[in-house]
Amino acid sequence: MNLAETIQQRIAGMLPELLGMQFTEVTTERAVATLLVRPDLCTSGGILHGGTIMAFADTLGAVGTVVNLPEGARTVTIESKTNFVGSAPAGTTVTGEATAVHKGHTTMVWQTHVRSGAGKLVALVTQTQMVIRP
């Protein structure tokens, strides 16, 4: 079983599963997932809600951190900044790709690009994860 499959199993019953996230690649340098833009994840205008985008990106950065943690350590997001630059209408699929910017002893920084099915940038998210050692 690869890391993406392992993560997919670990999210069972959690928010990422509720959102419908499908992990396609997870390594120590990047995490990639897709998300079907369902009407219940949208604004009244039928476009993907900003909060959904943020939860999607936060999960990707957290997963990237988790696979880099030392034994027994945990993580929590301590900062997140989102630039919304496009939209994704209901019925389409977005892809998020989180890549490592910094992997330190006490923090890790991840940048996530969320793109539409056509490849257009929907959002750019930069987040900092605290590493909580046992």
**Per residue in 93-129, pLDDT tens?**
999 999 999 999 999 999 999 999 999 999 999 999 9
Share of the chain above pLDDT 90, in %: 98
Decide: 37 and 90 in contact? Cβ < 8 Å.
Answer: yes
The two three-digit tokens of residue 129, written as one number? 């994860």
Instruction: Please report the pLDDT score of residue 112 as a whole number.
Output: 98
The two three-digit tokens of residue 2, written as one number? 């690869």
**Beta-carbon count within 10 A of 60 CB:** 29
All domains in the chain, ordered by first residue: 3-132 (3.10.129.10)
Could you tell me which of 125, 111, 128, 113 has the C-alpha nearest to residue 51? 125
| Burial class (CB within 10 angstroms; exposed 0-12, middle 13-18, buried 19+) of 93 | middle
Instruction: Please report the pLDDT score of residue 1 as a whole number.
Output: 80
